[in-house]
Structure 1
C-alpha cells in the first residue's frame, strides 16, 4: 500500500477498484497537514523544511498508532509527497514509492527520478537497521529482495526501510522520517508522476514518462499508467499477486506531445506501449 500526494494547495481524489488505485489532481483545497507543510517549507527554507517534514510525518505515524480499529503492528504504508510552491518543488519521501519529473531536453523527453527508493539494500538504511538489532536478509526464493526481520523471529519481512505503521519494527530501525529534497522547475519541465512500487516494479521511469506524455489529461494519464502496470504484471509475473499500483499525475503546463524519435526509448517500445493502452 502507498500514499502519493502532489499538491499546490489542492485536494487529491482517489478512485479505488480492488488492487487498482487512480489518484488525480484537482484545483481545490487540500488537507491541513499538507497545507501546513507547504507553508512552513516556503517560509523557512531547506533546513526548516527537513525538520518540519520529519515532525509532521512522525505525528502522522503516531496518529495511525492510536487508531483503535486499525492494527498496524505488522502492516503499514509508504508515502511520497510533492509540494509545488511557485517554481519550486519540495519532495518528502518515505519508503519505496517514487516521484519522477518529465522534462524536455535537446534529445527529447527525459524522465528524471526525484526520489531514492528507500529499501533495506541501501547501505545507509541497512546500517541503521542492524544497529537497532534488526536483521536484513533475503529469502532463498527471492535473493534479489532484501527484507527486514525481527532480531530473533522470521517475521515480518518488510521490503522497505521507512514506513508509516509497521510498529513491530519501529524499535529495530524502521523509521517514519522522510527523505526531503528540493528542485527548482524550469520551462522545460512538463509533468510530475508519483507512484507506488507496484508501478515501478514492472515499468521503467522512461516508459511511464512516455505513457503520460501521450495522455490528454491528468486523470487519463494516471489511468493509462495503471493499465500499463497491470498488463506488465500479468505478462511478467502471471502467477504472482499484483502489488498495489497507485498513481498521481500533475501537468505543469500544456503538454507537448512528442514524436517517437524524440523519446528515450526504442520505436518498438513506443508502439507496444501506445497501442496496448489505446493511446494512439
Structure 2
C-alpha cells in the first residue's frame, strides 16, 4: 500500500501531457515484459484453467482502475482512494441481492457507516452537484464485482494468471481508447481522458516505467501478505492506502483533506474492517486465498 500510495501520486506527471489510454496501453506492455522475465526465470505460469472466467473478472477489475486513474487527474487522490474503498460495502450488497446470502446487523451497520463516510468525503452540494465526484464510487462498485468474481469464478487460478489478465485487459482498454478517442483535448490535466495519445519522450517513458514497476511490486507484496496471513485480517491493512496516498499528496502536491473528509475516510476504513472481520472464515489447509490485484 505504501508503494502504491507513492506511485499513484506520480500520475499528475503523466496526465499533464499524456493520455489515459496511452498510459494503460504502454504500462501494460511494460508489465508483461516484466512478467515474461519472471516466467523465464521459472517463477509461475500464465496458463488459465478457465480463460473466460479470468477475462470476465479482469473486465470489472480493469474497469475499476480505468475510472480510478482517470479520476486522479480531476480529483484529489484522497477522495479517489476513498471512493474505491467503498468496494466492501458493495460486496455485501451484491452478496445479498445476487447470491442470496444473509447478512447480520453488524455488516448492515457497516454499510450504513461506510455510506455516510463516502458522503463526508465527497461532500455533495445539491446546488452545484458534480457527477464526476461520484465516479470513484463507481470504481468501487466495479472493483467489488471483480472481487466477488474472483471468489465465484476464478477459484484455483494462480495469482500470476490473474495479474496477467488484469494488465492485459487494461492494455485492451487503452488500445481501444487510442483509436476511438478523437475529440479535441484541452491542455494540461483536464485533457488526460480526452487525448488519444501524448508525447512519448524520455520523461514520459520514465514515469510509465515507474508506474509499471511500482504497481507490480505493490501487487506482489499484497499477494505475499495474503499468502502468509489470514485473508480477512490482511484485507484490513489495505485501508492504509488512504493514509499513504493522502500523505504523499500533501508532500508532493500540497493537497490537503478537510477535517470532515478525514473523518469520512476513518468511517470508510472502520466499515471495511467490520465487514472483513465479520466475513472471516477459516482457510482450508493447503489453499491460499486469491487476492485482488
Q: Same fold (TM over 0.5)?
A: no
From the two aligned structures, give the one with the greater strand fraction: 1
**TM-score, normalised with respect to structure 2:** 0.31
Structure holding more helix per residue: 2
Q: Which has the higher contact order (CA 8 A, sep 6+)?
A: 2
With normalisation by structure 1, the TM-score equals 0.32
